[in-house]
Structure 1
Amino acid sequence: MWEEKVVIDGPYHFDLALERLAKDPLNKVDKDKRLIRVPIYKEEPEVADVHAVGTTDKPGFIIRGKSPHSKQQVMKKITSVFQWDLPLFEIHQHFTKTTLNNIFEKHFGTPIVLEFSLYPALIRPIIHQQVNMSFAISLTEQFAKTFGFEIEGVPFFPSPETVARLNVGELRNLRFSQRKAEYIINLSKMIVSGELKLSELAEKPDNEVIKELVRIRGIGPWTAQSFLLFGLGRKNLFPMADIGLQNAIKKLYLLDRKPTYEEMENYSKDWHPYLSYASFYLWRSIE
């Protein structure tokens, strides 16, 4: 067992982050203790605890893990997932001069927390395509708990190798559509064969990642952008096809209809180079 204390620059509103993470039953969150148990995907998977001990303005955390041999790897992963190296103060200051000022004040210091691994970061948005949020969350939970595994009560998504061996009927039994089942199994086979290397996508610019992903059956621009945002932590993404984003802008600008892409582009001009945070805070504004 090992323990490490981390102090980062504020603002960082971990409690608001936990509030959002707690909506997903796959996340093991204790809001009262300000704690989340994180699945660490590696050759020998393990669980690490992230416990907040600071404030929004002076954030501090205690991280606990099992194996001292993997401490460096686990700390690097957690720092990346929770975006501890991103200057939220600079981002907040940028948006105080924009039409999103009130939203950023309300959700002051809320970080974007990434997916815990790149494979679920791509699988999850495929599952979420064209279904309502409650069903998407339920379907994702069933998928992970049926074909994945648990360590200390913390669910892990199944590996690509496990999913590649499934047949369509096994996913259909969970209420996946025929096409969505085919998409997920086919994608997993591509990863297992090496035709798609997720780790290599992290080294490529946004447009190249999107270009490579959308050639795959079942992945469109929205799914590719979701992977870039929540998988790779890219900072300047604005998925205009997202219904939630459209509804948030409709509410913000008091429109009597959903905005056009041209209107969304005009509204977002001042939000560069942090469009990802604009998107995230707009989603927060209607949650």
Structure 2
Amino acid sequence: MWTETIQVEAPYNFDLVLDRLSLDPLQIIDFEKRTIKVPLYIEETPLIVQIQSIGHTDNPTFILQGERNEYKEKALERVKKVFHFHEPLAKIATHFQETDLQALFTEHRGTPIVLDFDYYSCLVRCIIHQQLNLSFAHTLTERYVKTFGFEIDGVPFFPTPERAAKLTVEELRDIQFSTRKAEYVIGLSQKIATGELHLKQLAEKTDTEIIDTLVKIRGIGNWTAENFLLFGVGRPDLFPVADIGIQRALQQLYNLPQKPTKEEMLKYSENWSPYLSYASLYLWRSTEKRSEKK
């Protein structure tokens, strides 16, 4: 067992992080202890890192604990990227102070973008979530993981690509996947299991190269590719104009009679770059139900 205490540059509101992550039933969160248990793959080895907040928004301090000392440095590096410990949020918030999103950035001050814990699970999650309301998307994802994945100390892990590649459409239909969604998840998994697609290498490429590669895969369109860039790879300047949640948030923000057009969305967002990903997050956050688990 290893333990590491780290200090993060303020502001950083870990309670709001836990609040948003708690929308996902697969997250193992303890609000009283202010902890989350994070399932990671380090060099293809599944392991868990627990993060505990012992500070507050203006003095963010964390205790990280994990097994396997030989993987400590790589696990720390991954956690810092996933939870955006590595880059100050203050400069991002300052950027939005003179924009139409100023009130949102004040209300949700110190909320970072938290990445999916694994590239592959991010893509699978995006495929499952396609064209579903958020509540059922979470339910279906949980059902998939708990039926075909595995647990370590009560922490669920997605099925590996090798495991998912061997599933049948009928097995996934039994847990309420549509035929096409089942085919998409199995097909993606087969490409990764056979080595045709290398997500770690892909993540090093440009935004355009990543999108061009992913949209050639059956079941992956621009929405899924952009979400992978934002929540998988952590690119800072993504604004998925096809996302219904963002459309609704903008409709609410500007009191529009109907959802904005793509052209209107691009016009609104002109001065939000180079942090469009953060604009997206705070717009999503403005319409999400707050946790009642505290």
TM-score (norm 1): 0.99
* Offset, 1:172: 0.4
1:108 match: 109
- Distance (whole Å) between structure 2 residues aligned to residue 154 and residue 252 of structure 1: 37
- AA aligned to 2:5 is K
- Distance (whole Å) between structure 1 residues aligned to residue 105 and residue 146 of structure 2: 35
1:209 match: 210
How many residues are aligned here?
287
Q: Deviations over 1:4-53 (max 9, x none)?
A: 00001111011000001111111000111110011121333111110001
- Distance (whole Å) between structure 2 residues aligned to residue 201 and residue 143 of structure 1: 25
1:181 match: 182
Q: Deviations over 1:220-265 (max 9, x none)?
A: 0000000000000000000000000000000001100110000000
Where do residues 1-287 of structure 1 align in structure 2 (5 Å cutoff)? 1-42=1-42, 43-287=44-288
Q: Deviations over 1:52-75 (max 9, x none)?
A: 011111111000111111111111
- AA aligned to 1:86 is E
- Distance (whole Å) between structure 2 residues aligned to residue 67 and residue 199 of structure 1: 22
- Distance (whole Å) between structure 2 residues aligned to residue 74 and residue 113 of structure 1: 16
TM-score (norm 2): 0.96
Q: Secondary structure at the match of 1:45?
A: strand
Q: Which runs of 5+ in 1 are unaligned?
A: none
- AA aligned to 2:58 is D
- Distance (whole Å) between structure 2 residues aligned to residue 109 and residue 82 of structure 1: 12
- Distance (whole Å) between structure 2 residues aligned to residue 192 and residue 88 of structure 1: 37
- Distance (whole Å) between structure 1 residues aligned to residue 19 and residue 32 of structure 2: 11
- Distance (whole Å) between structure 1 residues aligned to residue 181 and residue 279 of structure 2: 29
- Distance (whole Å) between structure 2 residues aligned to residue 128 and residue 152 of structure 1: 27
- Distance (whole Å) between structure 2 residues aligned to residue 257 and residue 40 of structure 1: 41
Q: Which runs of 5+ in 2 are unaligned?
A: 289-294
Q: CA RMSD in A?
A: 0.7
Runs of 4+ in 1 over 3 A off after TM superposition: none
Q: Deviations over 1:182-225 (max 9, x none)?
A: 01100100111111110011111111100110011100000000
Identity between Structure 1 and Structure 2 (%): 55
- AA aligned to 2:199 is L
* Offset, 1:136: 0.4
- AA aligned to 1:208 is E
Q: Secondary structure at the match of 1:155?
A: strand
